[in-house]
Amino acid sequence: MLAVSVFSILSLLLVCGKVLRVNLSFLQRLYLPSSVIGGLVGLAAISVFRDKVPPEWVACAQKFPGFLINVIFATLFLGVATPRFGTVVRIAFPQLCFGQLLAWGQYVLGLGLAGFVLVPLFGVPPAFGNLLEIGFQGGHGTVGGMSESFRSFGWEDGIDLGLTVATVGMIVGVVVGMALVGWAYGRGYVKEVLSFDERPELERRGIHPPDARPAAGRQTVCSDSIDSLAWHIAIVGLAVGIGYLLLLGLQHAEVALFPNATRRLFTGFPLFPLCMIGGVLLQSAVTRCGGSLLVDHGQMQRLSGAALDFLVLSAVATIKLSVVAANWAPLLALCLCGTLLSLLLVVFLAPRLFREAWFERAIAEFGQSTGVTATGLLLLRTVDPESKTVAAASFGYKQLLHEPFMGGGLWTALALTLVYQFGWKPVWYFSVAMAAAWSVAAYLVIRANRRKAGHK
């Protein structure tokens, strides 16, 4: 009955979050997701009634993010017709440069700040610097998926600190992002801003009007053979299973190849990045077998969205405030520096890197670099509500090359292990080198833009 109780309570909190969002205009203006609002309500309730909440309920809820992130990553490329690599690079390369600079910059800044300043001053572990990219770009799901990694390295407080960074990042992404939108509109950088007051009343409250409700995916199989939702859940389960087998294979291969090694890269490696690879492999197999009509990406997006809402809700509600209070100063420094980095790149690099729709493309990256992809898409829709610019396509194509590695991808998972196995400095030096390489790539794009502008 434990799982039933916890699921019912989380559902109640999610409903409470939605009811509050529908009825309180200040929450609507902040564009906070109902999952965050419900999670904060749960966090407050657990803090107030600390002695009356059964600890096993909290322990059970804390397991939700670690499982649900596998579902989210498994669905990323299921049902997607992968475009040609050359097309992706041609359209999205400047966008990829910007996104990679933000991500690697967070490692350079986070690890450097932690190693040179926060460790000596506050005694935090060197891996504290990883939390900037894990929390800002990866979000609650990435932190939840890496929970076992944190525990295996003896730093369980890293889970709560990471969830706090993710929560702060989501709020910063929306609040500061909207402030940037106002700044850009005032300077004439964007024309098609859809302000809060201009939105229909139902949309402000987060409700689709009855006559304009989008489809929640399409059923690909007849219900007399199998329910379409059950079919898509089964496909996701297969992708997760493939990812799990890949992880087991890597762990066994490492032991077989290096039996006497004292350091293991894949012992604390999380499952969710490999679930993404499992989804890619499964989609490739389905396409080659002529079964692409059986998998709909719209339904996969709904499964991913549902998993994300429950993931964020349970993650926020179970943050240990005592851990946050004990580390408030280094957390504040990390989040402030991370926000400043994103702001500087948007204001100074983006106008030179992007030939057209520079702010629309940059604000999407700002949202993702602080509050995950959903925040980036929210901000992009605010400045380009009808997708009249190239921003949406460029951002979408860039994700195909960016997400497998950063923001919860393979490097995000591997970097934490490397810091614990080899120390923070080698990872920091590598991050500096990667940031420098992407800076050179960005410079080449800027130079090409100037040449094209000179020919006009």
The answer for residues whose C-beta is within 8 angstroms of residue 455's C-beta and 6 or more apart is: none
Kindly state the average pLDDT of the residues 394-402.
83
| Residue 14 predicted with pLDDT over 70 | yes
| Residue 261 predicted with pLDDT over 80 | no
Kindly state the average pLDDT of the residues 446-455.
80
Kindly state the average pLDDT of the residues 383-399.
81
pLDDT tens, position by position, 434-446 = 999 999 999 999 9
How many helices (H) and strands (E) in the chain? 22, 0
pLDDT tens, position by position, 357-377 = 899 999 999 998 887 777 887
CA 396, CA 60: separation in Å to the nearest integer?
35
Q: Which of 166, 171, 168, 170 is nearest to 65 (CA)?
A: 166
Query: Are the C-beta atoms of residues 395 and 88 closer than 8 Å to each other?
Result: no
**Predicted pLDDT at 336:** 95
Q: Which sign, positive or negative, has the C-alpha torsion 143, 170, 217, 398? A: negative
| Residue 198 predicted with pLDDT over 70 | no
| Residue 118 predicted with pLDDT over 60 | yes
**Predicted pLDDT at 152:** 87
Indicate the residue type of 68: L
Q: How far apart, in Å, are the Cα atoms of 436 and each of 97, 207, 316, 429, 439?
A: 11, 45, 35, 11, 5
| Residue 427 predicted with pLDDT over 90 | yes
**Predicted pLDDT at 194:** 65
Q: How far apart, in Å, are the Cα atoms of 270 and each of 140, 306, 452?
A: 14, 21, 45
